[in-house]
Every structure is written in structure tokens, then in C-alpha cells.
Amino acid sequence: MDFTTLTIILAIVAILIVFILISYVKAPPSYAYIISGISREPRVLIGSGGIRVPFFERLDKVYLGQITVDIKTEESVPTNDFINVDVDAVAKIRVTPNPEGTRLAAKNFLNMSPSEIADQLKDSLQGNMREIIGTLDLRSLNTDRDGFSDQVMQKASPDMNKLGIEIISCNIQNVTDKEGLIHDLGADNTAKIKKDASINRANAERDVKIQVAHADKEANDARVDADTAIAVKNNDLALKRAALKQQADTAQADADAAYAIQQQEQQKTINIKTVEAQIEKTRREQILSKEQIEIKQNQLVAEIEKRADADKYKVEIDAAADLEQRKRVAEAQKYEAEQRALAQNAESDAARYRLEQEAQGIKAKGEAEAYAILKKGEAEAMAMDKKAEAYKKYNSAAVAQMMIEVLPQIVENVAKPISAIKDVKIYSGSGSEGISSLSGNVPVAIKQAFDVLKSATGVDMADIMRAGTIEAKTTRNINLNGEAQEVVDGIKE
């Protein structure tokens, strides 16, 4: 077999496979596949597969599932007793499950949906139901709905069978009338029904009243018996309650007494504990107060020591600063003296140098002048020492002199308050004694001023004033100490 033949065979096989895949169909259980075109009778597939020749056979479907059809009388339908009613019903149908039913359904409902099939069958079912309503009276229609639905099914089944449809069930949903006579079962029976209802109602009420009377009598008898029994029981209960209350009161009294005793014991214990707690609290407060006092004392001692150390340090610093200042003043004075001496020496050297340069012959004269200048410097130094001593004495005398000069001012200031008095009223002693006591305060004030000056400066103004008296000049027996003596001597000289 050559390659070309093999290729042809493979191509034919492939075409056959594709043809089979395209031609094979399989019907689900809820649909019937109708294959028609080649044979005179169409083939029906339900839940099975088969071959459909493309382009030569066609495939159609018929729905086999259950279909719900709402059956309603569009208009009121008169019953056998001429009462117009409206009826709502629901029918469950399907295609008859046999080949004949399927073929009939295929002729009438091919490729229709369930809703389309229901619309096609609704008119026929409504007509059959309207015919059945006309054969029944209102009572039968309402009291025997199962019989009514069975009659509808029996009436509609021949017509449905011709279409290949089977009625599974038919249920009456609602029966109404516009006149509201359905509760009275028709206009002709309304009065009878009302009469029978009234009689029955009256008989029922009579029976009810009789029964109520018997029941009331029995209830009254039972109530009397019950009240009597209740009274007896209540009496017994009261007696038992009294006995129980007596026992309870006795037990309560015993309990109250025991409680009071227990409470007194507890109060006693509480009082003892309270006193002990107060004593302990007082002792702790004393300890705490003592510790606080010690802490306060330690703080005060620390503060005093700290302040004393600070004052001591300040005094030492001030003394050191004062000493340093004095040293610096002394060094400055010494430096000035040395500079003056150097300057004088430089002048003398310059003079001597000039004299030597002018002539060697006047050397003796230059030496004499230099000697004279030296002696002059010594004399000036001695004069400076004397002047310093004189200044020292003069300063003490000046102090005394200043005190003497301000003495009139002191007396004037002391007497000024007295001179400012315009009117004096004396309420104690005689008039002269009061005036003398007032004027006698002036010497006292002056003496107090002298005492203040003496304590502040060490100078006794009374002794200084006595130094100029005749007694002091003749006897010279005035006791002057220190600088005051020198001041007085300076004043005498």
C-alpha cells in the first residue's frame, strides 16, 4: 500500500469520525427528540442517543416535564342553582408518557416551551371547568371540591388525550361570588339558612342559659361549701399562726436577748480595741513628734553651723581682701618712693654726667652739689616723716575739733523741739517744778549725746571740754586716754 492510498484511507476515516460526531445526538429524560426526514415515521428519542443525518434529517424537541396551568373563569359562571360564581383552579399536566402520546404532542406542541404549552391548553381547560360549574349547585361546589375537580379532570381528559396530554391533578383554589351569597348557599336558601340559624341560635342560647343556671347553682353550692371549708381552714390556720407566732416571738425574744448580750460584748471589745488603738496612736504621735523635734533641731543646728561657716568665710575673705588691699597700697607707696629715688638718682647722674662732660675741673663742685642734693633728699625724707607724724596728730585733733565744732549744732538740735513748743500744760507737780523738769531735759540730752560719741569713737567730750578750763591749765589733772590726750596736748600747744 502506497502513501497516497494510506492518506486517502486516513482522510476517509477522519471524515467518518467527524460525521459521526456531528450526527450523534442524545436526548435528556425531560425532552423527546423527534428525528424526521428520511423515513415515513419519525424516530423518537427519550433519554437515549441516535444518529441524525445532517442535511437530510431534522431534529425537533417536545417538553416532557410537568406543566402548571392556571385555570380561572374570566367572567362569573352561573351554577345549577343560578348563582354566579368565580372559580380559580390549578391543573398539573404533562405529555402522555408513551409513543402515541409523544407523537400526538409532537404534532401539536413541537419546539414549544412549557409556558407556551400552558397557554395553548388554558382555554380548553377553562371551557371544561365552566361546563362542570353549570352542572353543580353552590352547595355541592363548596362542600365537595374534590368531586368537582375530579369531574373537571374527567370532562377534560378526552380532549387532552387527543392532544397527547395527560392531566395529573386539578385543585380548586378559590370559589367566590360578587353578591356575597356563597355564605348563605344561594339566594333561595338564604332565608331558610337564616331561620335555621336563628332557631338553632335560640335553642343554643336556651340550652346555654339552662346549663348556665345549673352551672351557677352548682357553682353557688360549691362556692358555699368552699367558703365554709375555707372558713374552717382559715380558723385552723389562724390558730396555727397564733401558736407559731407565739413560738416565733419567744424565739425572737431569746434571740434578741442573746443578740443584745453579744452586742454588748462586741461593743466592750470594740471599746477596748479603740482605747488601745488611741493609746498606740498617741504613743506613735509622741515618737513622731520627738523625731520631728530632733529633725528640726538638727536642721537648725545645721543651718546655724552653715551660717556661722558662711560668716566666718566672709570675715576671712573680707580680712584677706583688706590685707591684700593694704599690701597693694603699701607696695604702691613703696614703688612710688623707689621711683622718686630712681628719678632723683637719674637726675643727679645726669647732672654729674653733664658736669663731667663740661669740665673735669669742676668735679669738686659737682660732687659738692651732689652731696648737697643728697643731704637735701635726706632732709626732705625726714620732713616727710615729720609731716606724716604731724598728719597723724592733726587727724586726731581734727576729730576733736570737728566734734567741738558740731557741739553747738547738737545743743541747737536738742533744744529745737523745746523751742517749737508753743503751749505747755502741766498736770503734775507745781508750775515751776514742771518747767524746770522740762528744761532740765536739755543737759540730759546733751550728756546722752556725749555718751553715744564716747561709746562710738572712744573720745570723751566732757574731758575735752574740761581741758580748756583754768583747772586743767593749772593742775593738769585731766585724764585723757589715747588719741584724746594727744588732741588736747595739740590744742594746748
Summarize pLDDT for 364-394 with one digit per residue, the tens: 665 666 676 777 767 766 766 665 565 455 4
Contacts for 370 with CB less than 8 Å, ≥ 6 apart = 348, 351, 352
Q: Show the cell assigned to 423.
A: 503751749
How many CB atoms within 10 Å of residue 219? 12
Q: Are 159 and 195 in contact (CB under 8 A)?
A: no
Question: Does position 92 have pLDDT exceeding 90, yes or no?
Answer: yes
117 or 492: which leads in pLDDT = 117
Q: Which residues contact residue 105 at a Cβ distance below 8 angstroms, ignoring those fewer than 6 apart?
A: 32, 62, 95, 96, 163, 164, 165
In the predicted model, is pLDDT for residue 482 greater than 50? no
Q: CA distances (Å), 263 to each of 270, 273, 274, 276, 312, in order? A: 10, 15, 16, 19, 71
Asked whether the predicted pLDDT for residue 490 surpasses 50, the reply is no
Q: Which of 339-348, 434-443, 470-479 has the highest mean pLDDT?
A: 339-348
Mean pLDDT of 318-330: 79
* Of 32-41, 330-339, 423-432, the least confident: 423-432
- pLDDT at residue 118 greater than cutoff 80: yes
pLDDT tens digits along 157-206 = 998 988 889 999 999 888 888 877 766 665 566 677 677 878 888 888 88
Q: Does the global pTM surpass 0.85?
A: no
At 416 the pLDDT is 62
Distance CA 172, CA 70 (A): 10
pLDDT for res 460: 67
**Section 454-481 average pLDDT:** 56
Give residue 456's pLDDT.
Answer: 58
How far apart (Å, rounded) are the C-alpha atoms in residues 207 and 365? 189
Distances (CA, A) of 309 to 136, 196, 295, 304, 321: 137, 133, 21, 8, 18
The per-residue pLDDT for 68 is 92
pLDDT (average), residues 118-137:
89
Does 493 score more than 60 pLDDT? no
pLDDT in tens, 256-281: 778 778 888 888 888 888 888 888 88
- Please state at what angle helix 363-419 crosses helix 441-457, rounded to 10 degrees: 150
Q: What percent of the chain has pLDDT over 90?
A: 4
Please provide the average confidence, as pLDDT, over all residues in the chain.
76
Q: Kindly state the percentage of the chain with pLDDT values over 70.
A: 71
The CA distance from 325 to 331, in Å, is 10
- Nearest-angstrom CA–CA distance, 166 and 164: 7
Q: What is the pLDDT of residue 484?
A: 41
- Is residue 248 scored above 50 in pLDDT? yes
Give the pLDDT confidence score for residue 481 in this predicted structure: 44
Q: Are residues 366 and 355 in contact, defined by beta-carbon separation less than 8 angstroms?
A: yes
Going by C-alpha positions, the residue among 314, 54, 81, 61 that lies closest to residue 188 is 81
Which of 49-63, 65-79, 141-155, 379-393 has the weakest average pLDDT? 379-393
Gap between the Cα atoms of 391 and 389, Å rounded: 5
Type of residue numbered 203: N
